[in-house]
Amino acid sequence: MDAVLFDRDGTLVVDVPYNGDPAAVTPMPGAREAVARLRRAGVRVGVVSNQSGIGRGILTHDDVGAVNARVDELVGPLEVWEYCPHEPRAACDCRKPLPGLVLRACRRLGVEPRHTVVVGDIGTDVEAAAAAGCAAILIPTPITRRDEVAGAPVVASDLDEAVDIVLAARLAPLSAGGLT
């Protein structure tokens, strides 16, 4: 296991819809410790996030950058940030569940997708991981649908358990979509 790519909203930080205010960033419980544990173990860490507020005209790239910088201060540092600025109907290849963000983050980190885990809170995070050839861990939140939980290859109760799974998997082979 060489890298973990986290979803931002609902996974590393409390989801505030279309957040452009760094002061509104609140880390999820255990987020800073989870990132630190991975870094101590030599696992590269980054973020892959849909930010459709840009495409909808609600946010600017500067707004997203300021929020991401605040996340880095509170949780990080994170080595790579990739986000999709497009609205859901846009014809892009980066919006999760498509693999573009994940593949770009892997290239920037210099890691193979098959040695990477995507950790997120909804089905599109899991689908993006599978489409890119990565493993996936779902951490359900109140917005996670039951069918997404049922369809996830690996489910963790929180970030601490997700990191436990990742670190244990460093000793075991990976399969696309989940950890084996």
pLDDT tens digit string along 104-149?
Answer: 999 999 999 999 999 999 999 999 999 999 999 999 999 999 999 9
Domain assignments of the chain as residue spans, ordered by start: 3-179
CA distance 36 to 42: 10
* Cβ pair 18, 24 in contact under 8 A: no
Annotated catalytic sites, by residue?
7, 9
Is residue 42 scored above 50 in pLDDT? yes
Element (H, E) at 126: helix 123-132
Element (H, E) at 108: helix 100-109
pLDDT at position 178, please? 52
Q: Report residue 27: phi and psi, to 5°.
A: -65, 145
What number does CATH give the domain 3-179? 3.40.50.1000
Is residue 38 scored above 70 in pLDDT? yes
CA distance 78 to 119: 14
Q: pTM to 2 decimals?
A: 0.93
Structure tokens at 58: 């609600």
Strand partners, 3: 44, 116
- Mean pLDDT throughout 76-88? 96
Any idea what DSSP says for residue 150? H
Is residue 16 scored above 50 in pLDDT? yes
